[in-house]
Amino acid sequence: MSIPSDNPILLARDFGPDALTLAVGEGEIVALPGACDEGFLRALSGADPAWPGGLWLQGEPLHTLRPAARLRFAHTQCAVAPRVGKLLPELTVAENTALPLILTGLGRQEARRRALRWLERLDAAACAEWRIADLTPSEMRRVALARALVLDPAILLAEDPTDGLSAPERLHLLRILRAASGTHGLTIIVATDDEDVLRWADRSITVKVKTPAAEPANTELAAEPLPAPITEPAAMMNHAAHGGIPHRIGRHARGEHRFSPVGSGAERGR
């Protein structure tokens, strides 16, 4: 076990079927090489109450909370970057990024303003009105990260954020994330085997995780309903949802991306 501070922002103890112990300090960038995936990151964020063991987030013992309360608290503190395949092709980049805010009930104008702010920080503002199919792989990655960060979480968790990118694109993305960590106090946890990412992180912790078997439903906890999922998020943007639309990757002859510094920490509003 390695604990970087007396008061880690995230602490897992005897967590999961492998009894993992992990501590991450505020503002730290930690890479997790090994058999980690998005499911493990979701569990580590507190979004999956089925995993056994102790989990503390900002000092709050999530393992003692009921599922709905645990999920609500986790969503205010952590964000798991979605895979690019989860971006909605019928929405523009700005609408995809603003969607998490819209789902919380925030007005569209303010949600769009915050979405554009994060797109600018991640050097993706130029494609705000494009559809997902018109983006390069690098732009898709940055839009997915913007959608996770638009809620201004304290912790960002991402699986293979540089997968499929060229060496210059990987370094560009990592520089942007390092700036976000430095100016916003953002803690970043990435599951990856990319050597560039492992060198970029403050430290690496090898984790091998077995997915726990599904447990029988707890009738006592089932009395508290979890938040209902949004089945047609595109309809909230006045778009008709089109099922089965393939994700085409269109490449455009554009010049080098310009790096935009991340805004001040005060802008996080926390």
Q: Residue 212's pLDDT band (boundaries 50, 70, 90)?
A: low
Instruction: List the alpha helices (DSSP H) in the chain.
Output: 38-44, 67-77, 93-103, 108-121, 137-149, 167-184, 195-200, 219-222
What local confidence, expressed as pLDDT, does residue 214 receive? 56
Token pair 């954020």 in the structure block, residue: 161
CB 98 within 8 A of CB 87: no
Higher pLDDT pick, 162 / 50: 162
What is the per-residue pLDDT across 133-178, written as a single tens digit (0 to 9) for each?
999 999 999 999 999 999 999 999 999 999 989 999 999 999 999 9
Cα–Cα distance for residue pair 62/71, rounded to 1 Å: 9
User: Which of 189, 181, 182 lies closest to 10 in space, CA to CA?
Assistant: 189
**pTM for this structure?**
0.77
Q: Residue 39's pLDDT band (boundaries 50, 70, 90)?
A: confident
Backbone angles phi, psi at 77, to 5 degrees: -115, -30
Burial of 199 (0-12, 13-18, 19+ CB in 10 A): exposed
Domains (ranges, CATH) in the chain?
Answer: 24-210 (3.40.50.300)
What local confidence, expressed as pLDDT, does residue 238 receive? 66
Q: Is the pLDDT score of 254 beyond 90? A: no
Q: Is the pLDDT score of 225 beyond 90? A: no
What local confidence, expressed as pLDDT, does residue 168 receive? 93
